[in-house]
Structure 1
Amino acid sequence: MTIALPLALGFITSVIGITPPGLINMTAAKVSVEEGRTRAFVFAGGATFIVLIQTFLAVIFAKFINRNPDVVIVLREIGLAIFLALTFYFFWTSKKMKPKEKKVKLRTKRSRFFLGMLLSALNLFPIPFYVLISVTLYSYNIFSFEKPFVYMFVLGSGIGAYFAFYCYIAFFKKMESKTAFILNNMNYIIGSITGLVSIITLINVINYYCD
């Protein structure tokens, strides 16, 4: 497999996982507005560093899980339920979502790099997310647990994470004036992606039991 594939997979999955508004990316945007882009980029660097570690640990954990076929099919079924729930959630909130002002208080005086590390470390979602993604992609023969592939995938996830943070930092003011439009479209896009993954996973699970 070429270097481009794991980089692309890592980049895309990371962007999908980090783009929805959350504490970390909204804090990055707030740092940009209140303290300047330079400090915001430093903050994003700290958060991205933790994402790299979390992704690597998740892939290693997924490698051990993948050795047991029974565990893999259970994870696929759990993944199917999660993806279906996410699909309904994103489409449902797209209709009901109203723009709300989010306030993030930055009380710490420490380096923004370590603040980024701290907030990112408190977010444990990336680990199960990347475990599920790794096992699912491997089942479709587009992922490998070989070291070069894993390293490139982790690097791609870091680039994707930093890119997502960059977008919040660079375009927050424009996004702020069009919050409802962006969030609604973002939810439809992500909901469509999770819906497609749900269909593929469902077909895979049915094929497993029919064999």
Structure 2
Amino acid sequence: MRFFKNWKHIGFIGGFISLMGTLPFGVLNVLAFTIGAKESVADALLFSFGVIIAEVAIVACCLKWFLFLFRKKRLWEMLQYLMIGFIFFLAIQQIQQIGTPLAQKTDLLASKFPRFFLGLSLSALNPSQFPFWIAWNTVLKEQGLLSERHARNKYLIGIGCGTFLGLVCFIACSQLIDDASGLLESPAYHLIIACLFAGIGLLILFKSFWKRWYSNGWR
């Protein structure tokens, strides 16, 4: 756990978080997978670069916004509980995705919109981006990992690399696995991701109550 408390490793932490956020069954990763399978790897990579640029820009905006909130103690506490609730929501959402056909998420590919700009626009308009990154920024700020500018820059670079790695995994699956779409539609895949998010939510909730318990002298 010391690794995750050291600001020198903030780039790896950002990369791990963004990689984890890319793995759940969603529009962006499924589109990257489908473009790789039906069009070309080059088009899928262009789509991925568009996704990454928009995501890093959104995280940079979230960092500036939550630094203001951090000075407002009551709002900050409310944000922490909202963050925990959102992580559990992601877990529930994965369970709800069980049985959803892959084809329902690829209708946007019927347009001839350039793949780079398609990725850029879809990532920028993704409603889960802001709460997801505000949630993780909250956790890392509590650990004192985002106080320095150079640490935040490393964090943003790590996020871009993690998202790229996650999308490349989907693109590679589209080329290497014969029934990759069946794998993404399998209940086991959704349950594993749901358990991962639920475990993280429980860990953060436990740490939040543990910290308050000690700070208030409830021993």
In structure 2, the CA distance between the partners of 1:107 and 1:59, relative to structure 1 (3 Å rule), is same
In the aligned structure 1, how far is the partner of 2:214 from the partner of 2:103? 45
CA contact (8 A) 2:84 2:135 kept: no
What's the CA shift string for 1:14-51, capped at 9, x where partnerless?
Answer: 12222111111111111111111111011101111101
What's the CA shift string for 1:52-88, capped at 9, x where partnerless?
Answer: 101111111111111222222221222233344545x
What's the CA shift string for 1:146-189, capped at 9, x where partnerless?
Answer: 21111110111111111111111111345323331322322222
Q: Are residue 192 (structure 1) and residue 199 (structure 2) matched?
A: yes
- Larger displacement relative to structure 2 (181-190 or 11-20): 181-190
CA contact (8 A) 1:90 1:191 kept: no
CA contact (8 A) 2:86 2:131 kept: no
3-state secondary structure, aligned to 2:103:
coil
AA aligned to 1:76 is Q
TM-score, normalised to structure 1's length?
0.85
- Larger displacement relative to structure 2 (39-48 or 199-208): 199-208
| Structure 1 vs Structure 2 CA RMSD | 2.5
Say which of 207, 210, 214 aligns to 1:203.
210
In the aligned structure 2, how far is the partner of 1:7 from the partner of 1:199? 25
In structure 2, the CA distance between the partners of 1:8 and 1:195, relative to structure 1 (3 Å rule), is same
CA contact (8 A) 1:46 1:117 kept: yes
Say which of 7, 19, 44 aligns to 2:23.
19
CA contact (8 A) 1:16 1:190 kept: no
Identity of counterpart residues, as a percentage?
A: 19
In the aligned structure 2, how far is the partner of 1:188 from the partner of 1:69? 31
Partner of 2:110: 107
In structure 2, the CA distance between the partners of 1:120 and 1:81, relative to structure 1 (3 Å rule), is closer
In the aligned structure 1, how far is the partner of 2:50 from the partner of 2:113? 12
In the aligned structure 2, how far is the partner of 1:29 from the partner of 1:84? 26
CA contact (8 A) 1:63 1:145 kept: no
Partner of 1:150: 152
Aligned residues: 207
Partner of 1:46: 50
Say which of 34, 55, 63 aligns to 2:38.
34
In structure 2, the CA distance between the partners of 1:82 and 1:183, relative to structure 1 (3 Å rule), is closer
In structure 2, the CA distance between the partners of 1:41 and 1:192, relative to structure 1 (3 Å rule), is same
The unaligned stretches of length 5 or more in structure 2 are: none
Matches within 5 A, 1:61-140: 61-87=65-91, 89=92, 93=95, 97-98=98-99, 100-103=101-104, 104-105=106-107, 106-140=109-143
Structure 1 residue ranges, 4+ long, deviating more than 4 angstroms after superposition: 1-4, 84-87, 205-211
TM-score, normalised to structure 2's length?
0.82
In structure 2, the CA distance between the partners of 1:209 and 1:108, relative to structure 1 (3 Å rule), is farther
In the aligned structure 2, how far is the partner of 1:178 from the partner of 1:120? 24
Q: Shift of the alpha carbon at 1:205?
A: 4.2
In the aligned structure 2, how far is the partner of 1:186 from the partner of 1:129? 15
